[in-house]
């Protein structure tokens, strides 16, 4: 179809998703329309360039409908590594709609000499692990998912999140902030609040990694919540690799010209 642009849906909510939208428009904007989707979890999200839609789709079936109605050609799932439901819905909906889908998943943090990690499978295990690690805890989990820690009334929690925490309120202090965070600031935060232990997800990525470096520098234990199971392929680990996946699925310039009208046909 002349003038038709390939329609890319980016499932977002991460810094990589914004960077990907920017780079995809800069590099392929003449052939590619970018629609970014946000869950609507934060009140003041960073808006990527291009079209933006906000709110859930209504499960895998809703996403499948959206793909058909919006004529989406490619899905790039750049949600957070712990957005397990969206990840699974993207796999199912894209397969059913026959739309190629790729997962952008940043690499995990690697354990380094000096790290004191206690790896656990979920929030309940994380709360249980805290019993012997000291009573002043930095919960680097965002404002949700705090219920498991409410059962530890003897602990004091430093909670940092983009938006104020939802109930239940736990004993401690809330700090509103948006990353990325610098190592010196993370170290100061841990020292100022006399933190004994850090709880976080195995999110990976440089922007969120400074707290791990600060904990290592101070010899503090980190309760590290393991990631949900890996998604099916294709999976790429960087924005650059995601751009290559997109590029390989765009029509070449010659194909676009071949689709364009060539003027009146010869009468013969």
Query: 41 or 256: whose CB is closer to ligand NAP?
Result: 41
In the complex, least distance from residue 253 CB atom to ligand NAP, rounded to whole angstroms: 31
- Using rule CB under 6 A, residue 101 touches ligand NAP: no
- Using rule CB under 6 A, residue 231 touches ligand NAP: no
User: By CB under 6 A, what part of segment 120-159 binds ligand NAP?
Assistant: 142
Interface segment toward ligand NAP; rule CB under 6 A; list 56-64, 192-200, 238-246, 250-258: 56-64
- Using rule CB under 6 A, residue 52 touches ligand NAP: no
Interface segment toward ligand NAP; rule CB under 6 A; list 75-83, 95-103, 149-157, 182-190: 75-83
Beta strand extents in the chain (DSSP E only): 6-11, 32-38, 51-54, 74-77, 101-104, 116-120, 136-140, 156-161, 172-176, 197-201, 221-225, 235-236
**Closest alpha carbon to 81 in 202, 209, 235, 212:** 202
**Closest alpha carbon to 41 in 145, 133, 168, 135:** 145
| Among the listed residues 20, 28, 57, 181, the single contact to ligand NAP using CB under 6 A | 57
- Using rule CB under 6 A, residue 166 touches ligand NAP: no
Report the phi/psi class of residue 205: left, alpha or beta, with left for phi > 0 and alpha for psi in -120 to 50: left
Chain-centroid distance, C-alpha 13: 5
- Using rule CB under 6 A, residue 41 touches ligand NAP: yes
- Using rule CB under 6 A, residue 38 touches ligand NAP: yes
Non-local CB neighbours of 77 within 8 Å, separated by 6+ positions = 11, 86, 87, 90, 101, 102, 103, 104, 231
In the complex, least distance from residue 110 CB atom to ligand NAP, rounded to whole angstroms: 20
**Is the CB of residue 192 less than 8 Å from the CB of residue 171?**
no
The Cβ-side half-sphere exposure at 192, using a 13 Å CA radius, reads 8
In the complex, least distance from residue 231 CB atom to ligand NAP, rounded to whole angstroms: 11
Residues within the interface to ligand NAP (CB under 6 A): 11-14, 37-39, 41, 56-59, 62-63, 79-80, 82-86, 89, 142, 201
């Amino acid at each position: 179809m002349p003038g038709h642009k390939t329609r890319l849906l980016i499932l977002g909510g991460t810094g990589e998703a914004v960077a990907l939208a920017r780079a995809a428009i800069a590099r392929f904007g003449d052939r590619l329309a970018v629609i970014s989707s946000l869950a609507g979890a934060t009140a003041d999200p960073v808006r990527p360039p291009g079209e933006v839609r906000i709110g859930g789709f209504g499960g895998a079936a809703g996403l499948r409908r959206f793909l058909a109605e919006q004529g989406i050609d490619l899905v790039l799932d750049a949600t957070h590594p712990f957005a397990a439901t969206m990840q699974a819905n993207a796999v199912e909906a894209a397969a059913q709609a026959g739309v190629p889908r790729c997962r952008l998943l940043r690499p995990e943090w690697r354990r380094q000499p000096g790290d004191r990690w206690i790896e656990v499978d979920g929030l309940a295990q994380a709360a249980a692990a805290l019993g012997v690690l000291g009573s002043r805890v930095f919960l680097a989990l965002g404002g949700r998912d705090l219920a498991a820690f409410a059962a530890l009334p003897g602990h004091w929690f430093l909670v940092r999140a983009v938006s104020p925490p939802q109930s239940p309120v736990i004993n401690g202090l809330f700090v509103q902030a948006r990353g990325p965070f610098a190592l010196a600031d993370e170290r100061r935060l841990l020292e100022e609040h006399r933190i004994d232990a850090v709880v976080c997800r195995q999110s990976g990525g440089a922007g969120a990694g400074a707290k791990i470096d600060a904990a290592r520098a101070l010899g503090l234990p980190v309760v590290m919540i393991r990631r949900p199971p890996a998604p099916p392929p294709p999976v790429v680990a960087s924005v650059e690799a995601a751009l290559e996946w997109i590029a390989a699925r765009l029509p070449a310039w010659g194909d676009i010209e071949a689709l364009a009208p060539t003027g009146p046909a010869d009468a013969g």
